[in-house]
Amino acid sequence: MDGKFILTKIVDWSLLNRGFAIPVDMQVTISLNLENGQLKHGEKRKITIIFDNESHIATLSSVNFDKTKYPDHKDIWQINYAPNGTFAKKVKVFFNKSYATLSEMRKFKRDKRLIKIPNEEQESIAFYTTDIKNTFYIEPIFNYEVNIPQKERDENLIENLLDVSTLTDSQAQIVEKYHLSKIRRVNRGIGEYLKELYSFRCQICGEKVGSFYSVKVAECHHIDYFVKSLNNDANNLLIVCPNHHRIIHISNPKFDKESKEFLYPNGYVEHLKLNLHL
């Protein structure tokens, strides 16, 4: 059931009981998976959410605020469901630790908005479209998966796993061990398409490093690291040479999406020489 990644959402009281918001920049992605296209302002539609191999009915709604008062405000989309419905009950069972922790914390916090599970104990969901209209998929991400030892969840390893040409049995065992099952479902063809788009040239230096040896050498780099974002869409990928890929992961520069520049810790600024998709 391949689909596009939409968001990750930390499990909180709202998600356990009534729903969660959809980022504005992902409304178009969701619209492509809706039978009648984009929601109108204030509109509500029934959708299906697949979770733990079961289908649950929820409501996708556009919040009906007064546009005459807030003409520049973007539409707000939410996914809502009944607190005692099948989906909310299933989520509470799956994330019973988060539910128990939040329930206990709510007994002592006067301002419920300040309640937050400690980072090391947080659990999440990953939300995706599917190849079926009006149907979406949710994958649980438990805290023991997120808190993988650093050396074993290194972004270099994850990117190698996402590269079909370097996926080996030993690496696949790591995926199996830590239940990072989404890696097996991502569309690796996106990266392969981008490599072809850039003729296997590095977007940073413009070099086609394998040409002297008559081989094609290029790698995909996730702008927002996949281990955190789970975003393997083209808008989160760069095609780079192995040298630049290693330099980026060692120095960890910031990438400015507006100026298309890497800002390195030592003050060096490096602009993309090639850009056909961002």
pLDDT score, position 187: 52
More confident residue, 267 or 178: 267
- Residue-wise pLDDT for 102-152, tens only, equals 998 888 766 666 677 887 778 888 888 888 899 999 988 765 444 444 443
Q: What is the pLDDT of residue 113?
A: 66
pLDDT of the residue at 199: 92
Intervals of CATH 2.40.330 along the chain: 5-144
Three-state SS sequence of the chain: CCCCEEEEEECCHHHHHCEEEECHHHHHHHHCCCCCCCCCCCCEEEEEEEECCEEEEEEEEECCCCCCCCCCCCCCEEEECCCCCHHHHHHHHHCHHHHHHHHHHHCCCCCHHHCCCCHHHCCEEEEEECCCCCEEEEEEECHHHHCCCHHHCCHHHHHHHHCHHHCCHHHHHHHHHHCCCHHHHCCCHHHHHHHHHCCCCCCCCCCCCCHHHCCCCCEEEECCCHHHHCCCCHHHEEEECHHHHHHHHHHCCEEECCCCEEECCCCCEEECCCCCCC
Topology of 5-144 in CATH? At1g16640 B3 domain (2.40.330)
Sorting pLDDT into bands at 50, 70 and 90, what band is 166? very low
pLDDT for the residue numbered 143: 56
pLDDT, tens digit, 9 for 90 and up, residues 189-224:
677 778 888 999 999 999 999 888 999 999 989 898
Q: What is the mean pLDDT of residues 149-166?
A: 50
